[in-house]
Structure 1
Amino acid sequence: MSAQPPDGAPHPDSFASVFDVYEVRRDDGRVLYFGDPRADRQTIEEAVWPAFREQGYEVRLARRTGEAVLVAEPRDANEDRGVPWTNVALFVATLASTLFVGANWYYVDPFSPEVVRALPFTLSVVGVLAVHELGHYAMSRYHDVDASLPYFIPFPSLFGTMGAVIRMRGRIPDRRALFDIGAAGPLAGLVAAVAVSAVGLWLPPVTVPAEFLASSAAVEVQFAYPPLLEAVAAVIGEPLSYSDPAKSVNPVVMGGWIGMFVTFLNLIPVGQLDGGHVLRSLVGEHADRVAPLVPTALFALAGYQWFVADAGDTAGIWIVWGVIATLVTFAGGVDPVDDASLDRRRVAVGVLTFVLGALCFMPVPIQIVG
């Protein structure tokens, strides 16, 4: 048994004041420092983090067979190598699914060459989602946090996708990094959503074919508009609806609509959703008191719509998100290594982020009216 680490790993003497190492082992590329803690968990991890980070290791305090151990794992063990084929395949599949679904928005046959008319819809939806996720990715890189490229999720729905996600691996160094990574996605995505909405409003409306208007089998789906999108339309001076039933807003506008609705959902303040990251960075461990209230509020909203407002079509959305919020709450959030409070500028930006998220809220986003 040895207390000497392998070459390149921090020496136990560099953190002996908080963790007294009596044995060092190698375990499948990881370095295990067994020892006696001389401080609480938070203090130990804050103290050892810089030394391990400098040497290229992620570190965490754990217990094995009753012993305290610092587990150090090389950061390059999680790095993606070569072409990220999974990301590429999902991206291409999402382009295809949104193009296929987008054909319906333009009233063209998705199996005909005319399907290319739906490209503006595809680019608006995928573009807004990409900007959102790349906001997270860019700030992860800025703070030297290992993160994957976006994974797009193709799905046969009204929009052809269920969004996109990135995977963060390793620890978040401090609240500043947690805030920047969490807020960057929604803020970048909203900038893109506003820009796409403006372009869509400037584009000419789509003409609904007469056979669709006359068909008894046609189903009318009505979309509400969030306050932020209504504000964009008011500033530009373009309508979001028409008195002529043969006219429909350009589908590019729906790219902005999707971006805004996704932003609201992501800013729900629980667990590892963007809103959970932002709230945790703003108020620290007090965020744990807020999280259990969120699923209750979502289920209450669903109940109101089902039993009072006669909006049962939308109640299902909030039931699903109530379940998601419950699961995410139980899964827990992210605890940064350094839990020092944020500066005032970030606090102000955090409050603004939640205000902008609230402007994307729609109690009844989608409703089947006929």
Structure 2
Amino acid sequence: MAEQSSPTGLPDPETLADTFVVYEVDTTPTDGVRYYGEPLAETDQVVQRVAPWFRKQGYRVTLRRETGEYVLVATERSLGVDGIPWVNVTLALVTLLSTLFAGSRWYGSSVTADPMALLAAWPFAASVLGVLAVHEFGHYALSRHHEVQASLPYFIPIPNLLGTLGAVIRMRDNMPSRRALFDIGVAGPLAGLAATVVVTAIGVTLPPVEVTGGIAARVELGYPLLLQGVAALMGEQLTYADPALLPNPVVIGGWVGAFVTFLNLLPVGQLDGAHVSRALVGDRMRLVQRAVPVALFGLAGYLYVFEGGRAAALWAFWGVLTLVFSQTGTVAPIDETPLGAKRKAVGFLTLVLGALCFVPIPLVLV
């Protein structure tokens, strides 16, 4: 039997007694300090109650159930980056290559016939990766501001029309307050929207490309109101009478930014919209979350019946994803103090901007 006293600086078992009755304390080189015991509250409330004691001492805490018993695991927090993040760097480089390849197709080039076409696609890759990076570093910057441990962005390469499925960061910490949850959640979409507007404004002023064959000639994009508004303010156009002319591929970076922002603002699971909504409405978030799959399946049904099925499969797929995401739960902050009026106003504005990024038929292969 291991000792029932905690390492210096960490809460003693007696401190946790009104929430978690500890009968064993163990220290491991990989997991940190482990408190074995029985919870005296709902499992999600246990962490919420005990996390402040651990956080003050520089630890984050999770509650696990292993081989029939509950374990509170306290792991030392680290806000810095230890060494070179090789996984992040490798994924970023591979995603750069995959977006360069995807960009060559949007320019109507063939990498097989001309390997230099890969490098010529750098404006497309820069616009797509730039928007995604700004979004994720918005989260990262506010995580550091609120002293919440978070990873650097992980880019996700995939050989599709865009060369990527986006990017994510991992938050490995207890969320200190609703304010922190809101600020971190809203920072990504707002930063990404700013980058989206800039990239779109640049893209619409660049000359269109002429594409007579290949995958780019078979793609029909739907542009949301946000992009249409930027183009109108710049006195430029997003569509052309000549079917061989397509907007400069830099515009696709703006389209990606708008589409990613809308999807991320869906209030389910661990998406940005869930963080923002949870911070705004508290536990009522559960009701909001239930409505999202219903709305997406309804949209898919409408498109199937009245629009010849265009994009119906896309929204049905996201309906299934949101059902899955909703099972992962949302972040529960330690401090449930409601947000002030300024943050509520910013949250409302963010959701309105997210709605401007929506288009019923975002992409169709023709």
Unaligned runs of 5+ in 1: none
**2:25 aligned partner:** 25
Q: What SS does the aligned partner of 1:335 have?
A: coil
Q: Distance in 2 between matches of 1:137 and 1:250?
A: 30
Relative to 1, partners in 2 of residues 1:168 and 1:238: Cα closer, same or farther, differing over 3 Å?
A: same
Spell out the pairing of 1:346-361 with structure 2 (5 A cutoff).
346-361=343-358
**1:159 aligned partner:** 162
Deviation at 1:328, TM superposition (A): 0.4
Length-normalised TM-score, structure 2: 0.89
**1:302 aligned partner:** 300
Relative to 1, partners in 2 of residues 1:16 and 1:129: Cα closer, same or farther, differing over 3 Å?
A: closer
Q: What SS does the aligned partner of 1:152 have?
A: strand
**1:170 aligned partner:** 173
Relative to 1, partners in 2 of residues 1:334 and 1:19: Cα closer, same or farther, differing over 3 Å?
A: closer
Q: Distance in 1 between matches of 2:194 and 2:11?
A: 43
Which piece of structure 1 moves more, 287-296 or 41-50? 41-50
Deviation at 1:342, TM superposition (A): 1.0
What number of residue pairs does the alignment pair up?
Answer: 360
The CA RMSD over aligned residues, in Å, is: 2.7
Q: Distance in 1 between matches of 2:88 and 2:3?
A: 43
Deviation at 1:242, TM superposition (A): 1.8
* Cα displacement string for residues 57-116 of structure 1 (whole angstroms, at most 9, x for unaligned residues): 11346678998765423225x976322111111111111111111111112222421332
Amino acid at match of 2:56: E
2:327 pairs, out of 327, 330, 333, with 330
Q: Distance in 1 between matches of 2:72 and 2:217?
A: 60
Deviation at 1:285, TM superposition (A): 0.6
Q: Is 1:141 equivalent to 2:138 in the alignment?
A: no
Percent identical: 52
Length-normalised TM-score, structure 1: 0.88
**1:87 aligned partner:** 88
Relative to 1, partners in 2 of residues 1:362 and 1:7: Cα closer, same or farther, differing over 3 Å?
A: same
Q: What SS does the aligned partner of 1:276 have?
A: helix
Q: Is 1:188 equivalent to 2:191 in the alignment?
A: yes
Say if 1:200 and 1:250, in contact at 8 Å, map to a contact too.
Answer: yes
Deviation at 1:238, TM superposition (A): 0.8
Deviation at 1:244, TM superposition (A): 2.9
Which piece of structure 1 moves more, 105-114 or 283-292? 105-114
Say if 2:106 and 2:216, in contact at 8 Å, map to a contact too.
Answer: no
**2:6 aligned partner:** 5
Deviation at 1:168, TM superposition (A): 1.1
Amino acid at match of 1:6: P
Unaligned runs of 5+ in 2: none
Which piece of structure 1 moves more, 107-116 or 175-184? 107-116
Q: What SS does the aligned partner of 1:94 have?
A: helix
Relative to 1, partners in 2 of residues 1:56 and 1:24: Cα closer, same or farther, differing over 3 Å?
A: farther
Q: Distance in 2 between matches of 1:184 and 1:237?
A: 30
The structure whose Rg is larger is 1
Relative to 1, partners in 2 of residues 1:81 and 1:359: Cα closer, same or farther, differing over 3 Å?
A: same
